[in-house]
Amino acid sequence: MSEAPEILSEAASRRTFAIISHPDAGKTTLTEKFLLYAGAIQTGGAVKARGDRRAATSDWMEMERQRGISISSTVLQFPYRNCIFNLLDTPGHRDFSEDTYRVLSAVDAVIMVLDVAKGIEPQTLKLFEVCRSQNLPVITFFNKYDRPGRDPLELLDEVEQQIGLRPTPATWPVGQSGDFRGVIDRRTGDFVRFTRVARGASIAPEEIVSPEIAAQEEGAAWQTALDGIGLLDAIGADVDLESFLAGESTPVFVGSALTNFGVQMILDAIVDLAPAPAPRNDINGDPRPLENDFAAFIFKIQANMDPNHRDRIAFARICSGKFERGMDVDCARTEKAVGTKYATTAFGSERETIEEAFPGDVIGLVNTSGLQIGDTLHAGKSIQFPALPRFAPEVFATARPLDSSKFKQFRRGLQQLDEEGVVQVLRDPDMGDADPILAAVGQLQFEVLAHRLAHEFNAPTEILTADYQAIRITDKETAPRLREIGGIRILRRSDDALVALFQSRYRLQRLEADEPSLTLTPIIAGSRD
């Protein structure tokens, strides 16, 4: 294959990773500062913008700017050193876990952000479990060290005990949390002193200070830091590339995203430690060589990123081959051609047309109708990658337009937002689009749905809680029996799967025990059932 050397060389320069955390740990702020230090933006934004401060690049939705939270995952591509970074910022809120799970299927490494005052939080723990299931190497960032917080040794112990990863600090703080002087780079022994900049809007000056001068100028803080490093040396807690890539250890960095302390060190670690794209297994478990024909999978669909054009973008992670704009590509599920003429690279809500892309890159395909999350795209011989995880919904609701004349917009909006995975739209096979049931992981998803229906589709919508407690996948053989029983409703998902909704979890449990031959399959990923 004549293009093989080019493909392998380009793939080796890619770093595709996600940033994950519990809400408010500083994930989106860190994303913004990565862009600042990489030269992708000139001024660092804020998650909650005030005055003349610009909002975070990754939080481009109006609702995200209003609430100061990430609602949707965001793709950002930019160069750093001799690499191309594909950075995926993810929602931290539990209600948007399904979006985060899908993103984690599309990356090669993860940066986990921990608030030093709070340590391991529930969503942090859950996300680590996902990373482990995907065999993703994890870099850990102890954030907000410029504020009062817990002892870093205590946090290291918590990571090891609760997560099961052996922490290996690459940097160590000088000064206690709230009185942050800088860090010791354990790989060199140098003291890197930070200087605060106004509002963290520009790159923070760094000064390399010799150990001798640091001992004179930092006094007791320096000795305390050396004592901590002595303990780490004694237990052999050194960064180990092999165990990191194997998902057994996690390099730890200390800093403050808000004030830009330690940001560049993490960027450099992504280049030096994070893996380049590797062959991915297809649905049969066979690794697909990077240099094979083009293949990718859709992990995200986003409508209305450009409100002026009401467009729809399918984001695909390239797994093999060279992508060229306008090339012939098919969808493995339908074996229908997919248009690639309007392929783009993404930078938050901004995008530009691209001519080529390589393994590890994320491309956006504009206005490609018929594509679904999880679809495999390929050139040449057909291939299919494993399906992406679905979450078991835990809350249910009904929806209707407040203005009946807006039903057409309401129906179109529901379809698009269902395709995006904002909620799952369940319909009665006998009633079509009338009285759909909405299913979600959390209530906040319904708020997002209503907001976007009103503002993007001009269809103000009433959302009412529906009294269902559990969901199961069923089939056409079992459905007639379930329809005979009160408190159960048979509906169809957008992927044509039949599902049964139960008003009583107890009734579901009795039915599973009394009639084991019925098809009542739990939705596994993220399920509490």
More confident position, 395 or 196: 395
**Model confidence over 207-258: pLDDT tens digits?**
999 989 999 999 999 999 999 999 999 999 999 999 999 999 999 999 999 9
**Model confidence over 389-446: pLDDT tens digits?**
777 788 999 999 999 999 999 998 898 888 888 888 999 887 766 779 999 888 888 9
Residue 74: what pLDDT?
72
Q: Which residue has the tokens 């530009």?
A: 352
Residue 524: what pLDDT?
61
| Other CB atoms within 10 Å distance of the CB of residue 67 | 18
Residue 121: what pLDDT?
87
SS3 string, 81-107, reads CCEEEEEEECCCCHHHHHHHHHHHCCC
- The fraction of the chain above a pLDDT of 90, given in percent, is 59
Predicted confidence (pLDDT) at residue 518 exceeds the cutoff of 60: yes
Query: Which residue type, as a one-letter code, is found at position 435?
Result: D
Whether residue 103 contacts residue 88, with contact meaning beta carbons closer than 8 Å, is answered with yes
Question: Per-residue pLDDT averaged across 83-103, rounded?
Answer: 76
More confident position, 229 or 72: 229
Write down the architecture of domain 280-378 according to CATH: Beta Barrel (2.40)
Residue 308: what pLDDT?
59
More confident position, 104 or 61: 104
Question: Per-residue pLDDT averaged across 344-373, rounded?
Answer: 84
Burial class (CB within 10 angstroms; exposed 0-12, middle 13-18, buried 19+) of 165: buried
Predicted confidence (pLDDT) at residue 334 exceeds the cutoff of 60: yes
Residue 252: what pLDDT?
98
Task: Please report, to the nearest 10 degrees, the dihedral formed by the alpha carbons of residues 396, 398, 399, 404 taken in order.
Answer: 180
Question: Per-residue pLDDT averaged across 296-318, rounded?
Answer: 79
Residue 348: what pLDDT?
59
Vertex 127 angle, CA 123 and 131, to 5°: 170
Predicted confidence (pLDDT) at residue 306 exceeds the cutoff of 60: no
Residue 97: what pLDDT?
65
Band of pLDDT at residue 357, cut at 50, 70 and 90? very high
pTM (2 decimals)? 0.82
Residue 52: what pLDDT?
42
Mapped onto helix, strand or coil, the DSSP state of residue 190 is coil
**Model confidence over 267-280: pLDDT tens digits?**
999 999 999 999 99
Predicted confidence (pLDDT) at residue 12 exceeds the cutoff of 60: yes
Residue 1: what pLDDT?
54
Query: What does CATH list as the number for 395-514?
Result: 3.30.70.3280
Band of pLDDT at residue 201, cut at 50, 70 and 90? confident
Which range among 35-44, 354-363, 518-527 has the greatest average pLDDT?
Answer: 354-363
So where are the chain's domains?
16-76+92-272, 280-378, 395-514
Predicted confidence (pLDDT) at residue 204 exceeds the cutoff of 80: yes
Band of pLDDT at residue 53, cut at 50, 70 and 90? very low
Predicted confidence (pLDDT) at residue 503 exceeds the cutoff of 70: yes
Q: What's the CA gap between 1 and 239, in Å, rounded? A: 38
- DSSP conformation letters of 8-63: HHHHHTEEEEEEEESTTSSHHHHHHHHHHHTTS-SS--BSS--TTPPBPTT--SHH
For 185, half-sphere exposure in the C-beta direction (CA atoms, 13 angstrom radius) is: 18
More confident position, 149 or 430: 149
Query: What does CATH list as the number for 16-76+92-272?
Result: 3.40.50.300
Q: What's the CA gap between 23 and 110, in Å, rounded? A: 16
